[in-house]
Structure 1
Amino acid sequence: MIKLTGVFILSFAILAGSILSAQNLTSPQKNAVRSAESYLSLQGFSRDGLISQLSSPYGDGYSIADATAAVNSLSVDWNAQAIRSAKQYLEMMGFSCAGLINQLSSDAGDKYTKSQATFGAQGAGAC
């Protein structure tokens, strides 16, 4: 019973921390959070790629500071996002392991870290 209570307390603390950080966001940052969550529901994004999408004048046009604060307030498994992105690429066309890692980690591509890109390519079965 104590173990279950400890898990409950830890879960509550994490949830409370998320709620608290969300309460500290400005209105534009809260709107950017909503946009970020919408993007994440559609496809895989890296942290930097999501910030770029939110702050791009061709995307949502949030300030870089607001986009960064919004993304930082989210709890996202970036490795899982990298796998998701890798799988999406492989559904569209063939990639070698190295080619997919380069696409995922490129500044002109998805902007994952090299480690995340490697994890994603491996997790998607390209390596």
Structure 2
Amino acid sequence: MSAPTELSCAVSGILSVVVFAAMQVLQDMFKSSELGTIGGGLVGSILFLFILTFINNLENILLDKGFASSLFEVAVAVGLAVFSCSLIHRVCATTCMIFSMIVLFYLNKLSHGKYGASQAQAYIASQTRANKKKN
């Protein structure tokens, strides 16, 4: 069972702030070793997930129910997560970008499994049906 959009928006916003604050408090640990910098990127990808959830839920509340994330929202979320990781170490920023793309891939896969075909596939299917009717 999923949480209501308003609650999910509030929780993801609060968790975004908490993860960002934890990254800043623990930045010496992330800087101390190679494994720490990779771990910082992993934590940054979790921050990306929370930021993307917050942005999408906020748009659903303010604009319209059923509003889906587009490339702009993903770019903003990745930009904020990578910027926060770059405050720690430049390798953290790079690994954050890589881990965020992996998270985005699996999030997209999960979304397709739950909600079915994408809008682009539905548009292509409607155009194919329209072309068959013309012929």
- TM-score band (shorter)? 0.3 to 0.5
What is the TM-score normalised by the length of structure 2? 0.32
Query: Which structure would you say has the larger Rg?
Result: 2
| TM-score when normalising by structure 1 | 0.34
Bigger relative contact order (CA 8 A; separation at least 6): 2
More helix by share: 2
